[in-house]
Structures are given as C-alpha cells and as structure tokens.
C-alpha cells in the first residue's frame, strides 16, 4: 500500500512541477511577443523600377526592412546589361543620414 502512495505522491509533485514550468514558459512567451512587436520586421516594401533605358522590364528594385521604431535598412539593387550593383543604407526613425534616391524614398513611404 505504501508503494501506491509513493507513486501517487510522485505524480502529484511531478504535476505541480510541470504546471509551474508551463506557466513560466507562457509568461516568457508573452514577453517575447511584446518584444517582437517592436524589434522584428514590422514594416517592409519591395519597389521595382527600371533605371536604365537599354534594359527591358523592371529588373532593379529597392527593399525596405524596418522594425516597430522605424529603424532598419533600405537595400537597392541596380541591374543593367553586364553589371549589378548593391547599395545598403541605414534607416533611423524613418530617415537616413545618407542621400536617398526618389525610389528609396518612395519605398520607405510605402512601407510605413
């Protein structure tokens, strides 16, 4: 009979431990969700355009990736005949210290 009570006691303790672990994980996941709303990619936009007259289609693009505080990057890719150029610019509070092209400004505006 004492063995049965020992097993029941063990199961009850184990149930309390599992309940505590699940509740603490749930609290942690709620905090992570609050953090991710501002620290993850909250705003993004892809803007395609044709900067060169001698190429067909809109092969060049601007990609904007911003967090909840409007901080992030704008990546510009220019594709022409025989060349591809990449440009990355830092964005803080929705603006950049570097000069932005009209396409980059439009892409940031569209993402917000």
| Per-residue confidence in pLDDT tens, the chain, 112 aa | 566 666 666 666 766 665 655 555 555 545 444 555 556 778 888 888 888 776 666 778 888 888 888 888 898 888 877 778 888 898 888 888 889 988 888 888 888 8
Give domain limits for the chain. Answer: 1-39, 43-111
pLDDT at 75: 87
Strands laid side by side in the 60-66 sheet = 43-49, 60-66, 72-80, 83-91
Share of the chain above pLDDT 90, in %: 0
Q: What is the pTM of this model?
A: 0.62
Q: How many CA atoms lie within 13 A of 60 on its CB side?
A: 22
Given the structure tokens 């355009």, which residue do they identify?
49
Q: What's the burial of 96, exposed, middle or buried (CB within 10 Å: 0-12/13-18/19+)?
A: middle
Neighbours of 70 (CB within 10 A): 16
């Amino acid at each position: 009979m004492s063995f049965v009570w020992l097993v029941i006691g063990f199961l009850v303790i184990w149930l309390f431990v599992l309940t505590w672990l699940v509740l603490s994980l749930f609290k942690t996941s709620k905090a992570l969700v609050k953090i991710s709303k501002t620290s993850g990619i909250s705003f993004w936009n892809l803007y395609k355009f044709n900067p060169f007259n001698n190429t067909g289609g809109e092969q060049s693009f601007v990609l904007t990736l911003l967090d909840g505080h409007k901080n992030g990057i704008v990546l510009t890719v220019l594709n022409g005949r025989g060349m591809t150029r990449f440009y990355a610019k830092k964005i803080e509070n929705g603006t950049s210290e570097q000069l932005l092209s009209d396409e980059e400004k439009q892409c940031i505006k569209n993402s917000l």
